[in-house]
Amino acid sequence: MAQDSVALSCDYQFWMQKLSVWDQASTLETQQDTCLHLAQFQEFLRKMYEALKEMDSNTVIERFPTIGQLLAKACWNPFILAYDESQKILIWCLCCLINKEPQNSGQSKLNSWIQGVLSHILSALRFDKEVALFTQGLGYAPIDYYPGLLKNMVLSLASELRENHLSGFNTQRRMAPERVASLSRVCVPLITLTDVDPLVEALLICHGREPQEILQPEFFEAVNEAILLKKISLPMSAVVCLWLRHLPSLEKAMLHLFEKLISGERNCLRRIECFIKDSSLPQAACHPAIFRIVDEMFRCALLETDGAPEIIATIQVFTQCFVEALEKESKQLRFALKTYFPYTSPSLAMVLLQDPQDIPRGHWLQTLKHISELLREAVEDQTHGSRGGPFESWFLFIHFGGWAEMVAEQLLMSAAEPPTALLWLLAFYYGPRDGRQQRAQTMMAYVMTTCRHGDLQPCGQRRSPVPTEVARDETLPAHSPAKRRPFFPKVI
């Protein structure tokens, strides 16, 4: 071991001198000498990396105080960078110098310098005369050569990360967590480069077996910001991994959606649908963990706005987009409905998930009565009631606005006395906190109310939090107190 250390130190001095000569001269002889010794220099870099990865950054600087100069000379030598294998090894060597938690300004400056050098390796697009001659000799045009080189190097790193992901508990084949963490930090300034997309995707999908997250928070934040601003396009699997691994990114995506919805003075349902689909949140919500967090944020928005119709409309449009995404992803549910709606009856959720328009008109009344029975049992039956209380059942019900519209249509078409089950559904839709007696009084008020202009409405109250004319694509005022639901419970 000591002999290896002495040999490495000798090699270090030799190559330091060589790099100085190569750096100072640009003659044909110097270029030929560089190419002649490249294979040996790459072998030295491999040994150097094997030694560096066993040390922390402070130990590296103590043992090799001029390591930064050596790596910098190599990184700015166009003939060394002409080989993607050299670039790859240089990147790993530079990553070993990064201080994970810089303690002083000197270490912070070193980190910034390293990131600058790494950025030069991955994104520099200029060519010196020597590189132009070199590429022409190989039959490549300079404008085509370097992007291809960058692409090959990124694909090589991405392939190594995928192998690391599939290696399981085979520690000999697995990439060290420190290397993965350093690479994620290196990618931060390069996120928006199209050629780096495969590497970003591989980092997001590669899950380690460590108890704590190894990717850097600034990496997650940079990727999420680029996705929200449409500066990069990643597969949905990578986006799901991002939001599962970094909760602040998912929360920011939801807040970004809310900001877009309230930024204009007026929004229509088609516009809301475009915003929601463009956010990728319904597709990502096919994973129950993401759906639960998104749904919880909708719940908070609903309570904070006292049941504003704009929020209810958004919830209903989001649910519709989510169901469509769920159907496209698989004919059969990958996860049980209980994982999406844990506080309500699975049988109720299964019925509500159906598209009302897929049910024959002759079965509408029967289906609505079944929904009413399930809801009534969950809300009023203390023995088999929902553990989430009436609000949870109501919150589930308002996700599926088509059923409420069907209730209103059936009541309007009813020539005889309206069915009690439908009256109960409408009364519950307006007053989820009401007790049995108060809800019965509301139902009686519906029966006694005169139908005006085809509208069934409770005495002295508006009819629906999302009126039928709005559902037909009329505009919704951004914040209209006049359209707040009068029956919405302010404290639940």
pLDDT per residue as tens digits for the range 209-234: 677 888 989 999 999 999 999 999 99
pLDDT at 463: 35
Residue 356 has pLDDT above 90, yes or no: no
In contact, 428 and 407? CB cutoff 8 Å = no
Phi, psi (deg, nearest 5) at residue 169: -95, 15
Contacts 24+ apart (CB under 8 A), 69-73: 69/16, 70/12, 70/15, 70/16, 70/19, 71/97, 71/117, 72/117, 73/19, 73/20, 73/22, 73/23
Q: What is the mean pLDDT of residues 460-484?
A: 34
What pLDDT score was predicted for residue 3? 55
* pLDDT tens digits, 375-421: 888 887 654 444 567 788 888 888 988 888 888 777 777 666 777 78
Cα gap 16→158, rounded to integer Å: 31
Contacts with 342 (C-beta within 8 Å, 6 or more apart), sequence order: 292
3-state secondary structure of 118: helix
Angle at 431 between CA 457 and CA 400, to 5 degrees: 85
What 3-state DSSP class applies to 452? Answer: strand
**What ranges in 98-235 are assigned the alpha helix state H?**
105-123, 129-137, 142-166, 177-187, 197-205, 217-228
Residue 299 has pLDDT above 70, yes or no: yes
428 versus 27: the higher-pLDDT residue is 428
CA-CA distance, 164 to 420, in Å (whole number)? 62
pLDDT of 385: 42
- Locate tokens 């950025």: which residue? 119
The tokens describing 106, both together, are 């000197």
* Paired residues of 455 in beta bridges: 452
- C-alpha closest to that of 394 among 462, 485, 476, 471: 485
Query: At a CB cut-off of 8 Å and minimum separation 6, what does 453 contact?
Result: none
C-beta pairs of 347-352 under 8 Å, 24+ apart in sequence: 347/374, 348/374, 348/375, 348/378, 348/393, 348/396, 349/396, 352/396, 352/397, 352/399, 352/400, 352/403
For the residues 109-117, what does the mean pLDDT come to?
85
CA–CA dist 186, 276 (Å, integer): 32
